[in-house]
Copies of this chain bind each other. A is one copy, B any other.
């Protein structure tokens, strides 16, 4: 991976997140990255090849996050860390994850990027077990509910990313998952 290759990837990521995949011309990517347009195609063959390279990074980064959650010893800590995941994602690499979420609705990439990855399935399993250990009656459904919640939270974060709002929301969510809460 040469220096210019990374520059192209970074610039493409930024522009795809800002303006969308279809509406970002390769000419603009080249211009803002300060390279010739031809170089994009030398390294990534296609415009889609560019996107594929970005998607590959996604898998890897998400894998690291999941690993650190799975490694936690306490079941409740795993759940709380999962709740914090979207906030962590967005605070660290906003554009990157914004792009990820927008892809969910684009037919071309729905199968590719949102075919549940191995990491996602592992997280689901670990969370199911965590809920079971905490005595929840229907651990699988609880995981589904948590996943939906975090999906919605991600949407909210895109629209209202103020620190105060985030802190408030996080602590409220966590208060819903406490040892003292009802496990219906």
In the complex, what residues of B have CB within 8 A of residue A175's CB? 184
Residues A155 and B107 in contact in the complex (CB < 8 Å), given A141-B168, A175-B184, A182-B181: no
Residues A155 and B18 in contact in the complex (CB < 8 Å), given A149-B148, A172-B145: no
Chain B residue at minimal CB-CB distance from A178:
B184
Residues A105 and B107 in contact in the complex (CB < 8 Å), given A149-B145, A152-B150: no
Determine whether the beta carbon of A152 is less than 8 Å from that of B147: yes
* A residues 145-175 in Cβ contact with B at 8 Å: 145, 147-153, 155-156, 158-159, 168-169, 172-173, 175
Chain A contact residues: helix, strand, loop or mixed: helix
Determine whether the beta carbon of A159 is less than 8 Å from that of B114: yes
Q: List 27 A-B contacts (CB under 8 A).
A: A20-B22, A20-B106, A22-B23, A101-B105, A102-B105, A102-B106, A104-B158, A105-B105, A114-B159, A141-B168, A144-B156, A144-B169, A145-B149, A145-B172, A145-B173, A145-B176, A147-B156, A148-B149, A148-B152, A148-B153, A151-B151, A151-B152, A151-B155, A151-B156, A152-B152, A181-B184, A182-B182
